[in-house]
Chains A and B, each alone.
Chain A
Amino acid sequence: MLSQQITTLIDKELKKYPADQRQSAVMAALRFVQDEKGWIAPADMTDIADYLGMQQMAVYEVATFYHMYNLKPMGRHTLTVCTNLSCQLCGSGDTLAHIHKRLGIGLGEVTPDGKYGLREGECMGACVDAPLLTINNKKMCGRLTSEKIDQILAELDKQ
């Protein structure tokens, strides 16, 4: 079942679209579920399909098409590191190496305590701040250095 909080958010999103186009809110609905649970399970997709009057497979298509959805648990804090060209030129390789050194995880992995997950991102549209990462698809951190990463992790450790 979708939580009350999620359905409230979806309802708000639905106001943006024509009444007969509820499907338009599917991307947002998936995002809200991920924000709440950290990932999206098939049961959530079924709930969303029911709520928006969509076919389940259509929800699944959307969830698997857009890369920012976590289709498996990706830790309480999902770090997504852009490795595209501008970031690569500015040292995203070092970013990944440093995170690996600190957390012991590589791309697609989650720390054993379930606290951190690491994903590879594609161009985030903030190339002048390369190299960069996002935290839970919400907060973007740019011009990363080892020190800055340590700071970010220290902040997250406190949460």
Chain B
Amino acid sequence: MNAPILLNTLHFDQPWTLENYLKVGGYQALRKVLAEKMSSDAIIAEVKASGLRGRGGAGFPTGLKWSFMPRNYQGEKYLVCNSDEGEPGTCKDRDILRYNPHMLIEGMAIAAYTMGVKTGYNYVHGEIFEAYERMEAACEEARKAGYLGKNILGSDFEFDLHNHMGYGAYVCGEETALLESIEGKKGQPRFKPPFPASFGLYGKPTTINNTETFASIPYIIREGGKKFADIGVPNSGGVKLFSISGHVNKPGNFEVPMGTPFRKLLEMAGGVRSGHKLKAVIPGGSSMPVLPGEIMMDLNMDYDSIQRAGSYLGSGAIIVMDETTCMVKALERLSYFYHEESCGQCTPCREGTGWLYRIVHRIEHGEGRPEDLDLLLDLCNNIAGRTICALGDAAAWPVQGMLKHYRNEFEYHIEHKRCLV
């Protein structure tokens, strides 16, 4: 196993301090960028070479995204970090915020330098107040030490970073909802186009990346994009933090190269809880279609492998379910979640997610009808792809995944009014 790249301060008692971060090469990348007066093009080329793709779930190539930011725009531009991690199963960014906040700050500072931005916001999930406080302290520490603010490291580069706390809305993980939220509004996603790169925060050009994405930048700049890319597999460069939760012995976050076999990750998490066997896995956060355990055991954790199997790597959050899990009950909870978290804006999502939930709820409670399953699938088709943001899709995919692989359990529920497991 290679030395960790993202959580590289965990061996310290207080992994989050600037002092400790500096001991592991912290802020060297920023120093290098400023000292060598690296050009934006050079930095973006390096990021492109790293194969880094957005770690929030959508997997959009980061270097490409950075290149969309208008270069010669006169006026404010913004950089935003999406630390609003609330996709069930996902809790990797929390560890970066808690244990390595300076790596995020450094990554954002480099991004800001690259895109000519002076102000950044880090939007932190509302429920993790301790991580927010940690970030606030780290920013203050960085400001005092000259890594944030005016004349960073004696250069004429200026960048300040502020933390903005969410307060309980999953949809704010959607980047334009997040921007609305920073603006002090309801987190209702915006229709695109225009995209944030031209009309973002306060209507100004804005680039938004995930916490883990930014945190990957210092290594890429320090060690070179190619080195990062080589850690992973083709089309899935670098390392990735995987959160493993559910029915495992040692749930936790694990930093491994992209393409690591699921089997190995499961081992790292101590295997399925004692006395039980693997039934199913949601491989990339709760929106992604579930996959049966036997399929997962042969898969590697990279974008292409998971997609070929009919799901997505998403945020890299792995929810493990053993044979005691009732898939109807699991889906009921997920459908309830998407129904509650719908922002209420688009008709198909506002109305459809509640309908989905109520049908699954009925089935779980012994009131299912034979025609319900086809109805569910038809409704999913009427929700997915018909809404402003992807929450509609996120509500539909778990239903489709469950019915694809575990339809028999649903049928059993409907017929016998009780659980198969």
Contacts and interface: CB of A to CB of B under 8 A. Distances in A.
Contacts of A84: 88, 286, 333, 337
A129 to B, nearest CB: 8
Contacts of B333: 83-85, 88
A123 B183 CA distance: 23
Interface stretch (B163-171, B191-199, B294-302, B351-359): B163-171
Contacts of B361: none
Contacts of A110: none
A67 B86 CA distance: 13
B275 interface: no
B217 interface: no
A138 B251 CA distance: 23
B185 to A, nearest CB: 7
A26 B244 contact: no
Interface in B148-193: 162-170, 181-187
A46 B334 CA distance: 36
Nearest to B181: A27
A126 B130 CA distance: 12
The SS class assigned to the A binding surface is mixed
Contacts, number: 164
A56 interface: no
Contacts of B85: 125
Interface in B322-379: 325, 329-330, 333-334, 337, 340-341, 343
Interface residues of A, number: 47
Interface stretch (A1-9, A57-65, A96-104): A57-65
B202 interface: yes
Interface of B: 76, 85-91, 93-94, 121, 125-130, 162-170, 181-187, 202, 243-247, 251-253, 282, 286, 317, 319, 321, 325, 329-330, 333-334, 337, 340-341, 343
28 contacts: A21-B184, A27-B165, A52-B184, A54-B184, A61-B185, A62-B186, A65-B186, A65-B343, A66-B167, A66-B168, A67-B168, A85-B282, A88-B330, A89-B246, A89-B325, A89-B330, A90-B245, A122-B337, A123-B89, A123-B286, A125-B125, A126-B128, A127-B319, A130-B245, A130-B246, A134-B127, A137-B167, A140-B129
